[in-house]
């Protein structure tokens, strides 16, 4: 029986552990597809005790039998992608066009995008959005304005020069006149692009046809999102959001397959809540409590190194994410971090709000439910019965509150440190029917 085509999405503000879950499901997938975002994401994997951070290349690349695809919904910094390919090759991973493809329709993060991103964020002063300054937003802006450069444009040097010559004067006016930074030149941008094109050219392919061939052949596909649900440009805590669609529905537009090809959606939620950057965060813990959770969980951004804001699990938030994504199963990560806490809290709703607050979470007050904690080390747990009763009760309560079953529970950073009540592949396959 074929395995279901599955979308993996984050249900909070990112950093939920999507990479680990993709790595777990990838061996049974013929293809793993990244469908949105850019190198503003960082998926951290721990394999044989060694940490690997991937920013653009899908997490499935660590499995030799899996083809990885960067879809048209992704924005690509060619220099970062090459650096990532080289890092993987140095670890013994054979990356060829037979194993890795970049969509011809993916947009390119150009040097002017990075410059403008940093200049704009600096100019906001105290009103920072909290971007990673990697050019992601300006690239999506140009994509929407129909003035972007796509990966296919890199394959035609004459066309690329024409596009640079046409676009650069406007970009330089902004860079110089608005922000007082140094202008860019056509020659330096061409010099930047030339070696990158030579390296990446063989990987640039018609990925839509590639994916539809897999769908027709009933080969299982895993779709990997980057940022979390509440960084979605439409449904997130706007304006403190990313510049793309992070929801499961974005897997279709960002890869070129239709909705009927998707059979299951796995939503990833951390056993507590974190957020990087500015914006509302109802369950945030200030002071010593937040600091302690940050230290216990190692909550520092894998892309930026920024400390993450930490707080209690927000079931109201995750319940909304389940609705927005059509989630069929939840993977709960980092349950082990809560060990030793005498009490664990779950936000079950917001005061005065009968439904999820439309538009913003600014100023809402959480309603908490307290559960007894546990002191046992969870790192050796591999089955449900290995978990302490209080940990079981916490997971069960979360499942009840968000309204979908728990597929797996993470109890440590390693790829094997997972509690499985049932075989996740068999469970997702059953969801297809």
Block residue for tokens 């002017």:
112
Distance CA 259, CA 249 (A): 8
Block residue for tokens 């979390």:
228
* Contacts of residue 191, Cβ cutoff 8 Å, sequence gap at least 6: none
Which entry of 15, 77, 117, 232 is annotated as an active-site residue? 15
Q: Are 2 and 218 in contact (CB under 8 A)?
A: yes
Using alpha carbons, list the distances in angstroms from residue 276 to 80, 112, 291: 21, 25, 14
- Give the helix/strand (H/E) hosting 9: strand 6-10
Distance CA 326, CA 320 (A): 10
Which entry of 23, 43, 107, 314 is annotated as an active-site residue? 43
b (16+ CB within 10 A) / e for 228-265? bbbbbbebbbeebbbbbbbbbbbbbbbbbbeeebbbbb
Q: Which of these, 303, 185, 184, lies nearest to 242 by C-alpha position?
A: 303
15 counts as catalytic: yes
Active site residues: 15, 43
């Amino acid at each position: 029986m074929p395995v279901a085509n599955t979308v993996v999405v984050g249900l909070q503000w990112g950093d939920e552990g999507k990479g680990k879950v993709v790595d777990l499901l990838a061996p049974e997938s013929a293809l793993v597809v990244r469908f949105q975002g850019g190198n503003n994401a960082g998926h951290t994997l721990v394999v044989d005790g060694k940490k690997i951070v991937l920013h653009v290349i899908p997490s499935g690349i660590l499995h030799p039998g899996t083809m990885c695809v960067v879809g048209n919904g992704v924005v690509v910094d060619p220099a970062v992608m090459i650096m990532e390919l080289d890092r993987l090759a140095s670890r013994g991973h054979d990356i060829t066009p037979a194993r890795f493809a970049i969509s011809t329709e993916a947009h390119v993060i150009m040097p002017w995008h990075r410059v403008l991103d940093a200049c704009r964020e600096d100019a906001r002063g105290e009103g920072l959005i909290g971007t990673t300054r990697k050019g992601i937003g300006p690239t999506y802006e140009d994509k929407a304005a129909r003035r972007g450069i796509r990966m296919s444009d890199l394959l035609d040097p004459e066309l690329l020069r024409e596009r640079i010559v046409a676009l650069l004067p406007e970009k330089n006016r902004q860079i110089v006149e608005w922000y007082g930074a140094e202008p860019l030149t056509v020659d330096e941008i061409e010099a930047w692009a030339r070696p990158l094109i030579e390296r990446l050219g063989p990987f640039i392919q018609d990925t839509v046809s590639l994916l539809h061939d897999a769908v027709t052949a009933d080969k299982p596909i895993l779709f990997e999102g980057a940022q979390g649900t509440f960084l979605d440009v439409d449904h997130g805590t706007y304006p403190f959001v990313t510049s793309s669609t992070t929801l499961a529905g974005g897997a279709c537009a960002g890869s070129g397959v239709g909705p009927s090809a998707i059979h299951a959606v796995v939503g990833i939620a951390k056993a507590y809540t974190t957020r990087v950057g500015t914006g509302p965060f109802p369950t945030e813990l200030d002071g010593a409590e937040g600091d302690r959770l940050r230290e216990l969980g190692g909550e520092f951004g894998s892309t930026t190194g920024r400390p993450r804001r930490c707080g209690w699990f927000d079931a109201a938030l995750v319940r909304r994410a389940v609705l927005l994504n059509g989630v069929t199963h939840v993977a709960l990560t980092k349950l082990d971090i809560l060990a030793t806490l005498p009490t664990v809290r779950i936000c079950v709703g917001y005061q005065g709000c009968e439904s999820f607050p439309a538009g913003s979470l600014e100023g809402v007050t959480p309603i908490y439910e307290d559960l007894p904690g546990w002191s046992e080390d969870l790192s050796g747990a591999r089955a449900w019965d290995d978990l302490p009763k209080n940990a079981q009760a916490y997971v069960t309560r979360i499942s009840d509150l968000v309204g979908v079953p728990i597929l797996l529970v993470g109890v440590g950073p390693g790829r094997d440190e997972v509690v499985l009540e049932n075989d996740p592949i068999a469970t997702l396959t059953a969801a297809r029917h």
